[in-house]
Amino acid sequence: MTRIRILVVDDSVVIRKLLADTLSADPALEVVGVASDGRIGLSKIALLKPDLVTLDIEMPVMDGLQTLVEMRKLYPKLPVIMFSTLTERGAAATLDALSLGASDYATKPSNTGSTEVALERIRIELIPKIKALCGIASLKLQPLPVCRPIPKVRVRSNQPIEIVAIGTSTGGPNALAEVLPRIPKDFPVPIVVVQHMPPIFTRLLAERLASRSAIPVAEGVAGSILAAGHAWIAPGNFHMKVIGTSLNCRLSLNQDAQENSCRPAVDALFRSVAAAYGGNVLGVVMTGMGSDGVLGAQDIRDAGGNVIIQDEASSVVWGMPGLVHASGLADAAYPLDQLATEITRRVVQSRASRIFADLKSHASLEIPVK
């Protein structure tokens, strides 16, 4: 098997060695070179021809953002993972990098007090992302995490859509930046979102999306009452659920065990909206690695709701939506640039159809006056 060739660009000698040793220990990976700043890194790409680059943000001579801009001009399709600190400044710079074309990010292990813990963090967080972006994590090698029968025939709900639930991961920040700003101001239902991200990142993401969107977007807060035309993003390290009845629902946060190695988890959110809203749900699974969202999509469909997904061509990684599709749980797939329009169309049309049906039913009950 040909190993994935990786170039590590970081100004820290310790981090360069840590990454080189940890990544090269995996039989599928090989660190073919290191660089201490962006200018050196750019010069080594042409020479080493890596399959993927890990890129630090704060470096001398040429920092990570400057390097990324030049890299995208020369190598627009080369996968790049930003390797940043879990700080306010690091999170903001990482979101900038994602908007400039970075493929994904991983957070540097800090204050672990143990080299072994730091190595394990890298193995758990960074290595799967490298493999997914380089095409090793095949759908065929990722069975459903729990064996549950998928019904061949299901009862569809004719009720109007009362909530939209979105799940996404790798590539999600840019995908959400395409979708949420295109949702109209008078959108008639609430939107709840899980984006796999750590604390700080989710708050900054919500703030950025809010500045570009016609609808209010905020990080989820426990007890928030769901309102039409508002979007909430699950905070990092918390599962976000919807509780109550469809007429009076609010957000609930908890730190229960991870699901699919994630917290927040899409499955947890989808399961809760199916319980609270029954068949009045539109689930949306967008770009991301792993299997989170598959079981939740089944819960939505079992309740009579519908699930749509982002298509493979427009996804950074077609893991999450691809597995929903492979499991027979997707009602339809759409390119990223059509998702907002389709979400809006489905919601508005479902509600208009119900209003028309109610008016027709009311009219048939009227007794004509002679």
Q: How far, in Å, are 15, 112, 144, 229 from residue 21 at the CA level?
A: 10, 18, 32, 49
- Report the pLDDT value the prediction gives residue 368, as an integer from 0 to 100: 53
Residues 80 and 115 in one domain: yes
- Report the pLDDT value the prediction gives residue 149, as an integer from 0 to 100: 44
Q: CATH code at 91?
A: 3.40.50.2300
Residues 123 and 201 in one domain: no
Burial of residue 367 (CB within 10 Å: 0-12, 13-18, 19+) is: exposed
Residues 343 and 202 in one domain: yes
- Note the pTM of the prediction, 2 decimals: 0.90
- Report the pLDDT value the prediction gives residue 147, as an integer from 0 to 100: 39
Residues 169 and 101 in one domain: no
Quick one: three-class SS letters along 208-257? HHHHHCCCCEEECCCCCECCCCCEEECCCCCEEEEEEECCEEEEEEECCC
Instruction: Please pick, among 10, 51, 56, 292, the residue that the annotation labels catalytic.
Output: 292
Q: Identify the three-state secondary structure at position 32.
A: strand
What are the b/e assignments for 209-226, b being 16+ CB within 10 Å?
A: bbeebebebebbeeebeb
- Rg of the chain over Cα atoms, rounded to whole angstroms, equals 22
- Report the pLDDT value the prediction gives residue 138, as an integer from 0 to 100: 47
- Report the pLDDT value the prediction gives residue 154, as an integer from 0 to 100: 52
What's the total number of domains in the chain? 2
Residues 117 and 203 in one domain: no
C-alpha angle with apex 65: 63 to 71, nearest 5 degrees? 100
Q: Nearest 10 degrees: CA dihedral of 94, 255, 233, 172? A: 50
Residue that terminates a domain, selected from 123, 138, 153? 138
Q: How far, in Å, are 194, 199, 258 from residue 263 at the CA level?
A: 9, 10, 5
Indicate whether 289 belongs to any domain: yes
Indicate whether 364 belongs to any domain: no
Residues 205 and 347 in one domain: yes
Residues 167 and 38 in one domain: no
Residues 115 and 215 in one domain: no
Residues 226 and 122 in one domain: no
Indicate whether 20 belongs to any domain: yes
Instruction: Please pick, among 196, 239, 314, 315, the residue that the annotation labels catalytic.
Output: 196
196 is catalytic: yes
- Report the pLDDT value the prediction gives residue 304, as an integer from 0 to 100: 96
- Report the pLDDT value the prediction gives residue 370, as an integer from 0 to 100: 47
Residues 173 and 63 in one domain: no
Indicate whether 151 belongs to any domain: no
Residues 104 and 188 in one domain: no
The closest of 204, 196, 22 to 95, measured between CA atoms, is 204
Instruction: Please pick, among 103, 169, 291, 314, the residue that the annotation labels catalytic.
Output: 169
Rounded CA-CA distance 177/161 in Å is 23
Please list the pLDDT of the chain residue by residue as tens digits (370 residues): 689 999 999 999 999 999 999 999 999 999 999 999 999 999 999 999 999 999 999 999 999 999 999 999 999 999 999 998 878 888 999 999 999 999 999 988 776 567 788 788 889 999 999 999 998 754 443 444 443 444 444 555 568 999 999 999 999 999 999 999 999 999 999 999 999 999 999 999 999 999 999 999 999 999 999 999 999 999 999 999 999 987 789 999 999 999 999 999 999 999 999 999 999 999 999 999 999 999 999 999 999 999 999 999 999 999 999 999 999 999 999 999 999 999 999 999 998 866 555 555 555 545 454 4
292 is catalytic: yes
The DSSP letter of residue 101 is T
Range(s) of the domain holding residue 299: 163-356
The DSSP letter of residue 139 is G
Indicate whether 45 belongs to any domain: yes
169 is catalytic: yes
